[in-house]
Amino acid sequence: MIELLDPAEMAEADRLTIAAGTPGIVLMEAAGRAVADVAARSPLGTRIAIACGPGNNGGDGFVAGRILMARGYRLQLGLLGSIAALKGDAALAAAEWRGETLPLADLDFGGADLIIDALFGAGLDRPIEGPAAAAIAAINASKARVVAVDLPSGIHGGTGQVLGVAVRADDSVTFFRPKPGHVLMPGRAHAGRLTVADIGIRPQVLDAIQPRTALNRPELWLPHLPTPKVDGHKYDRGHALVVSGGMTQTGAARLVARAALRIGAGLVTMASPPDALAVHAAHLTSIMLKRMEGAAGLSELLADKRLNVVAIGPGLGPVDVSLPLVEAALASDASIVLDADGISAFREDPDRLFAALRKRSAPVVLTPHDGEFARLFPDLASLPGKLDRARQAAARSGAIVLLKGADTTVAEPAGRAAIADNAPPFLATAGSGDTLAGMITGLLAEGMPAFEAAAAAVWLHGDAGVVLGRGLIADDLADALPRVFARLFV
Ligand SMILES: NC(=O)C1=CN([C@@H]2O[C@H](COP(=O)(O)OP(=O)(O)OC[C@H]3O[C@@H](n4cnc5c(N)ncnc54)[C@H](O)[C@@H]3O)[C@@H](O)[C@H]2O)[C@@H](O)CC1
Ligand SMILES: Nc1ncnc2c1ncn2[C@@H]1O[C@H](COP(=O)(O)OP(=O)(O)O)[C@@H](O)[C@H]1O
Ligand SMILES: [K+]
């Protein structure tokens, strides 16, 4: 598992390491050397400008400068503030620097081939203004390769938000573990290629820190991915029910159903309003079809306890149709994936949903995009950073909240969260979210724990986008799953 550490957790990792006997300057030396190594992928002769800030991020810049100068690079170093004002490890690092220290404003960014951004890292705590903002504008205007120390200056390590202005880096070199700000947008776009350097912090410090956020990678959920039993039966793999909208909007439910079956559900049944039965009958093959007369009809179907998960929301229709159906689903014992119109049904009264959720024991996964999220959690929608939004929404609702986008974040009520960075932008296409809902549904049907099922579906959906590439449409995503699994298990 790759943990993501926010600034407070990273400071604690540093503190525990120093308390256990490794001096801070030793960590800073290792950090500066790692930055120098990444910078030194550019050949000798490269003209380097190093912009140092007033804290330890700047200290790393002084160390990198000393090492690169010893390796024969031509370089200029500029400092925001005065050397006399530096403290602690940064002051020690600056004392070892033998070159000239220019005022930041005198650095010639335009004449540099490579810029090392050591202005601010984890200690950034307010919007950047004045000379630092001017330096960042000049860095972004230059044609130089930019290597950021820890984080691109201006990006908040915990939220990925831009505080004022932010450097656009080609490379970022961070230490020990990546930070949420490297994967959450727009931070990820600013960070460029990420290098995570070992600076001598022992992984055992994580036992004390107990980080709650991870990068969404297979190692997070693969141990929980169900494997069909050799002597298994289709009913061992679960039976999902997908609730369809009316005649003119049946496609979304079929995308859900196909993805649920492809990813591993043993059986999938489409619950269809009477007017849409003929449309579905013309399209469905391996997916079964049942007639559903309104909310009472759905409750009757769900009396069959073998139906262990319900997907409801995509193409479901306006609130007068959708709300009674969702309430019938919520009253059942099945796990639920609630998406799209099923979420919007509660826009007038989100507490009604939360109250129903509190009465359930089987899990519910909410899969909003930003617009749907704002309908259920209007006060949380403006929080900086998707991680906090998803985490607070999960705590409030008691559901697993999967907040979609380029940096889809899954959070559970107890606070555990996973952020994905593998989804290509081709996934922003009609019906792609319906397919994701279906993938979660299928994994829940197979009995995967809900947080892991949601995280796995997000990653597999993203990888299906990678496998298909440009030209993909939502109809292709489920059918790409065999190739995605083949890649996963090589
Ligand atoms: N021993 C350690 O703690 C280690 C720290 N390391 C480096 O230290 C960095 C964190 O150092 P710090 O905690 O000193 O923090 P930073 O160096 O990121 O920034 C803190 C300084 O910037 C000022 N500042 C913050 N926001 C500002 C703004 N908007 N405008 C102007 N000034 C602003 C603060 O007042 C403070 O002086 C990490 O990002 C990493 O690069 C590494 O050297 C590894 C070891
Ligand atoms: N820029 C992007 N990069 C990667 N994935 C994206 C991007 N924008 C959207 N997605 C993904 O595409 C899907 C869109 O879902 P959604 O907004 O519900 O659309 P629809 O309702 O048409 O299915 C989600 O899985 C989302 O995470
Ligand atoms: K930086």
pLDDT digits (tens, 9 = 90+) for 91-146: 999 999 999 999 999 999 999 999 999 999 999 999 999 999 999 999 999 999 99
pLDDT score, position 322: 98
Is residue 1 in some structural domain?
no
In-domain check, residue 37: yes
Does 360 reside within a domain? yes
**Per DSSP, what are the bridge partners of residue 148?**
117, 172
Closest to 75 (Cα-Cα) out of 150, 144, 154, 25: 144
The mean predicted confidence, pLDDT, of the chain is 97
DSSP 365-388: EE---HHHHHHH-TTTTTSSSHHH
> Domain check: are 235 and 375 in the same one?
yes
**Gap between the Cα atoms of 178 and 403, Å rounded:** 21
Domain membership of residue 267 (yes or no) is yes
Please say if the pLDDT value at position 490 is more than 90: no
> Is residue 2 in some structural domain?
no
Q: Are residues 155 and 251 in the same domain?
A: no
Are residues 143 and 41 part of one domain?
A: yes
Q: Is 228's pLDDT higher than 90? A: no
Look at residues 211, 235, 251 and tell me which one is the last residue of a structural domain.
211
Whether residue 191 sits in one domain with residue 263: no
Give residues with Cβ within 8 angstroms of 447, minimum separation 6. Answer: 226, 238, 308
Regarding whether 425 and 354 lie in a shared domain, the answer is yes
pLDDT tens, residue by residue, 339-359: 999 999 999 999 999 999 999
Statement to judge: residues 130 and 247 lie in one domain: no
Residue 471, classified by CB atoms within 10 Å of its CB into exposed (0-12), middle (13-18) or buried (19+), is: exposed
Judged by DSSP in three states, 90 sits in helix
Do 159 and 251 share a domain, yes or no? no
Half-sphere exposure for 483 (CA within 13 Å, toward CB): 14
Q: Which residues pair with 241 in a beta bridge?
A: 269, 310
Q: Which residues line ligand 1 (CB under 6 A)?
A: 14, 24, 27-28, 31, 53-60, 89, 120-128, 132, 149-150, 175, 199
Q: Is residue 169 part of a domain?
A: yes
The residue assigned the tokens 């799209």 is 340
Shared-domain flag, residues 373 and 237: yes
Asked whether residue 79 falls in the same domain as residue 156, the answer is yes
Q: Please state the domain count of the chain.
A: 2
Q: Which of 193, 211, 229 is the last residue of a domain?
A: 211
Q: Does the annotation place 56 within a ligand binding site?
A: yes
In DSSP notation, 129-150 reads: -HHHHHHHHHHHHS-SEEEEES
Asked if 394 and 482 sit in the same domain, the reply is yes
Q: Tens digit of pLDDT for each residue in 389-448? A: 999 999 999 999 999 999 999 999 999 999 999 999 999 999 999 999 999 999 999 999
User: Could you tell me the pTM of the whole model?
Assistant: 0.97
The edge-to-edge listing of strands for the beta sheet with 307-312 is 213-215, 417-419, 409-411, 400-403, 364-366, 335-338, 307-312, 239-243, 267-272, 288-291
132, part of any domain: yes
Q: How far is 270 from 268, CA to CA, in rounded Å?
A: 7
Judge whether 338 and 312 are in contact, CB under 8 Å: yes
| pLDDT value of position 120 | 98
Considering the domain architecture, whether residues 282 and 400 belong to the same structural domain is answered as yes
Beta carbon of 189 within 6 Å of any ligand 2 atom: no
- The answer, yes or no, to whether the previous bond of 318 is cis (omega within 30 of 0) is no
Q: Which atom of ligand 2 is nearest to the CA of 429?
A: 22
Residue whose CA lies nearest to ligand 2 atom number 14: 433
Q: Give the CATH number of the domain where residue 72 resides.
A: 3.40.50.10260
- Could you give the 3-state DSSP secondary structure of residue 174? strand
Amino acid identity, position 153:
S
Query: Which domain does 130 fall in, by range?
Result: 7-211
Last residue of a domain, one of 211, 234, 265: 211
164 plus 222 within the same structural domain: no
Whether ligand 2 lies within 6 angstroms of the CB of 185 is answered as no
- Three-class SS of residue 162? strand
Residue 317 lies in a domain: yes
Domain with 445 in it: what CATH number?
3.40.1190.20
Q: Tokens 């490379």 belong to which residue?
A: 171
Residue among 339, 426, 432, 475 to mutate when testing ligand 2 (max atoms within 8 A of CB)? 432
Identify the residue whose C-alpha is closest to ligand 2 atom 24. 433
**Of 446, 450, 396, residue with least CA distance to 236:** 446
CB of 406 sitting under 6 A from ligand 2: yes
Contacts of 362 (CB under 8 A, 6+ apart): 333, 334, 335, 336
Per-residue pLDDT tens digits for 277-323 = 999 999 999 999 999 999 999 999 999 999 999 999 999 999 999 99
Which of 316, 341, 369, 472 for a ligand 2 pocket mutation test, highest count of atoms within 8 Å of Cβ?
369
- Residue 482 predicted with pLDDT over 90: yes
CA torsion angle for 137, 139, 144, 148 (degrees, to 10)?
Answer: -130
Residue nearest to atom 13 of ligand 2 (CA): 433
Output the CA torsion sign for 94, 100, 102, 107: negative
